[in-house]
Chain A
Amino acid sequence: MTESSDTPLLEMIDISKSFGGVQALRGVDFSLRAGEIHGLVGENGAGKSTLMKIIAGVHHDFQGTMKLDGKPVRFRSARDALDAGVGMVHQELSIVPDLTVAENVFLGTQPKTRLGTIDWRRMVRESREHLAGLGIHVDPTTIIGELPIGLQQLIELARVLFSGARIIILDEPTSALSPPEVELLFTTLRRLRDSGRSMVFISHFLDDILSISDTVTIFRNGQKVITSPVAEIDKRQVIEQMIGIGHRELEESYTGEITLDTQFDAPVIMETRGLSHERTFQDVSMQVRAGEVLGIYGFMGCGQIELARALFGKIRAQGVLTLDGKPIKLTRTSIARQEGIAYVPESRRSMLFHHEPLYKNMSISILERISRMLLKPSSEREIARGHIDNLRIRTPGPDQLLGNLSGGNQQKVALAKWLTHAPKVLILSEPTRGMDVGAKEDVVRIVRGLRDKGIAVIVVSTEPETVLSLADRILVMKKGEIVREFAGDTVSKDRLLEAA
């Protein structure tokens, strides 16, 4: 790695971009040299993905100048960018799982014979050679969906390279990979760098960024904070720049330390021992006590969402799960409900009935309690009215159709359906996502109230602010495993990010 040329391979000058009224990028400068791995970090919504999508031709209406090899360019599509040598590997892979490795490598560019049919032999031969050149030894006639996810990702990378990309943008490439797979990916990336290609590496995993990148650029609130050689910065400093400690102008409440307090003498309500589910989480052992809010924090794809689903019987996990000391088998959600476990998923759409009235939405989980065989709509409405008052749901009445409520109010309905008869365990997945400040405060108030009634609450989130504002104790999950516990201690956002 030498600073050979003065002109960067790619240069972005004074880039701004807004979506609707939201300013996603404000006057960002960014440059990428040939033969460089450039790490990009920042919180969700900091603007790093937006910038990369501009480079890759996904977004094309923006302000500012973009230069490739010193010449101004403006891509109109991802195809356009790829033709100019800029390719992107998205977090959600775009391979076709039912096709072979060779077909995927040549997707959309299959070689033809003189008769106009697909030249299979050439396709297999060339993809074998090409993959071997990257250190990937795999039979090109294998169905790609049968390969491990790490290999699939490398093959997608190979495809982008094969279409002639000199600049490759990798969005969260390591989030689904096991440590040996990460090592394989990094070896390949280093080899590519040494052959003169440039890579942009976007990730939440700071350890990964710091071990593979030559340079790192940090984003915060749509602006570039700093670009620095990796050798001159450490993880602590990266986190400080990401969340802006020392720049007191923003986020006063959650960046500071909060004190966790746990009642260790309260009885354990739910306990897991060695709970595992396929690739999503492994060997999870934890306890939740009565009257405590347990926060589980981790980045997107770290398994905490799946763990929450398994605790409600939506997916089946291996391992031991006990409730009040008794082992239970959650083979379906109705068993979990009867055992007193309640669950509010991250998406409102997947738990509410949009063209049914409010009261039916609120009573669905408690019908067995208020009626034997025949329904009692009058008591359903009565219960609904109570929730509407308690949770300050803004609606004309219990007969209003749910679809007519605003998003925040719908979220409250999703919570209300479990509150008529207090559950033993309440699991909340991303309870404040997309809410405005007022609605978030309502959720905090409601959850604290439930905790004080002795309910064990589990809050699962990818947003540090959410767990920090709600939890009494915090578990951090990383790539499917619990890696850290914060309890009876003070914790702050930077320590959470560091642990993850």
Chain B
Amino acid sequence: MSDTGTATARAGGVGGWVRGQLRNIAPFATLLFLVIFFSFASESFFTVVNFANILNQVSITAIIAVGLTFVILCAEIDLSVAAIANVTGIVVAFFTLQESYVNIANLPLPGLVAVLIALLICFALGMVTAFGVTFIGIPSFIMTLAMMQIADGMSALFVRGQIAYAVPDIVLTLGSGSIFGVPWIVIVAGLFLLVAHLVLTYTRFGRYVYMVGGNREAAEYSGVNVKFIIGAVLVIGAVCSGVAGMLGVAYFGSAQQNEFTTYLLDAIAAVVVGGTSLFGGRGGIPNTIVGLFVLGVLNNGLDHVQIDPFLKILIRGLILLAALVINVYAQRLRSQAENAGD
């Protein structure tokens, strides 16, 4: 009974440390490997201009991934992020005056009002998900799958197969403008990551998120309002997606159906590849940042080398699989160490 765990940890030495930190080391090693590989494979990859490109390309994913990091830290999942991004982007365009050739029955409102309505929509959708998961008890996997359909359906009804182009000025600036040569969208993404990191690390709410993810029953026995925390992370996930959706519409220059589909997989991949545990309680924004870069470098680098474009998708799938294997494996090593400690 006496302190066997401490003894094991000490005896583990460097090997033990590596095993315990595998979750954090593996993504970083992957990133390093990819950067070195593409630098040798292509002359145009390792340049300042291309680095700026990568930042620009991952920004929308980053904003979605911020919300997902909260959700996954709580050991839940949100499959509706891309659909909510889509519908929020469409809503903000729907309430903006479109050019006469755009065949959408839109209701022009002042820009800020349109933005507020769009934010309200994604907040409300997040609340519905939160209600379904916490009060009705639907597993988040299924609940957000339904929400994905609902949000997609709303998108379809708003645009009816058409494409809208105009968005409020503030959205246009933040989504596609620059200041001193730095794209606003990169700044926004950076701010989201920074604020999320501060919330998760330095606030009571952030602590509860980790504790609920780490051991939900223990959190409940400690008098934490578990349902509130889970509901809150789902709402945060939806609102982050909504913001990404609005800026995305400006970034792409159009609002239409299915324009965010690939972002669901990218955002989940970024969080998980970065090393945040799918079982909750471990990981965080720094992990997500590394994951975003792994994905960004991979997507960008594959464009710089001569490669069958159809093979790209397969390669991305394989990288994601490898990350999942490491994620689950790291969890197992940790729980083995724990059992030894008992």
Flag if B9 contacts A404 (CB, 8 Å): yes
A483 to chain B, nearest CB (A): 29
Flag if A405 contacts B202 (CB, 8 Å): no
A373 within 8 A of B: yes
A60 within 8 A of B: no
A397 to chain B, nearest CB (A): 12
Flag if B215 contacts A334 (CB, 8 Å): no
**Chain B: interface residue total (CB-CB under 8 A):** 35
In the complex, chain A residues 348-373 whose Cβ is within 8 Å of any chain B Cβ: 349-356, 360, 364-365, 367-368, 371, 373
Flag if A333 contacts B334 (CB, 8 Å): no
Flag if A365 contacts B1 (CB, 8 Å): no
In the complex, chain A residues 404-444 whose Cβ is within 8 Å of any chain B Cβ: 404-408, 417, 436
A336 within 8 A of B: yes
Per-position 1/0 for B136-147, Cβ under 8 A of A: 000000000000
Flag if B3 contacts A364 (CB, 8 Å): no
Flag if A406 contacts B211 (CB, 8 Å): no
Per-position 1/0 for A157-182, Cβ under 8 A of B: 00000000000000000000000000
In the complex, chain B residues 270-292 whose Cβ is within 8 Å of any chain A Cβ: 281-282
A465 to chain B, nearest CB (A): 19
Flag if A407 contacts B207 (CB, 8 Å): no
Indicate the size class of the contact surface on chain A.
Answer: 35 or more
B6 within 8 A of A: yes
Contacts of B25 in A (CB 8 A): none
B86 to chain A, nearest CB (A): 33
**Contacts A350-B218, A356-B214 given: A338-B204 contact, CB under 8 Å?**
no
Flag if A404 contacts B5 (CB, 8 Å): yes
Contacts of B6 in A (CB 8 A): 396, 400, 404-405
**Contacts A332-B227, A355-B334, A404-B5 given: A314-B221 contact, CB under 8 Å?**
yes
Flag if B220 contacts A405 (CB, 8 Å): no
Contacts of B222 in A (CB 8 A): 333, 337, 351, 364-365, 417
A424 to chain B, nearest CB (A): 13
**Contacts A314-B220, A334-B223, A365-B222 given: A375-B203 contact, CB under 8 Å?**
yes
Give Cα A353–Cα B282 distance, bound, in whole angstroms: 12
**Residue in B206, B215, B223 whose beta carbon sits within 8 Å of that of A354 in the complex:** B215
In the complex, chain A residues 387-406 whose Cβ is within 8 Å of any chain B Cβ: 394, 396, 400-401, 403-406
Flag if A333 contacts B5 (CB, 8 Å): no
Per-position 1/0 for B197-212, Cβ under 8 A of A: 0000011101110110
**Contacts A332-B225, A405-B5, A406-B3 given: A373-B342 contact, CB under 8 Å?**
no
Q: Which residue of A lies closest to B4 (CB)?
A: A406
Q: Which residue of A lies closest to B213 (CB)?
A: A353
B2 within 8 A of A: yes
Contacts of B4 in A (CB 8 A): 406
Give Cα A338–Cα B224 distance, bound, in whole angstroms: 10
**Residue in B1, B220, B225 whose beta carbon sits within 8 Å of that of A406 in the complex:** B1
Flag if A333 contacts B204 (CB, 8 Å): no
Enumerate chain B interface residues (CB-CB to A < 8 A).
1-6, 9, 202-204, 206-208, 210-211, 214-215, 217-225, 227-228, 281-282, 334, 337-338, 341-342
Return the 10 tightest CB-CB contacts between A and B, nearest first. A337-B223, A404-B5, A334-B225, A351-B221, A364-B222, A403-B341, A350-B217, A403-B338, A404-B6, A367-B204
Q: A336-B223, A353-B215, A405-B6 are in contact. List 8 more A-B contacts (CB 8 A).
A: A333-B221, A334-B225, A351-B217, A353-B281, A354-B338, A356-B211, A367-B208, A436-B1
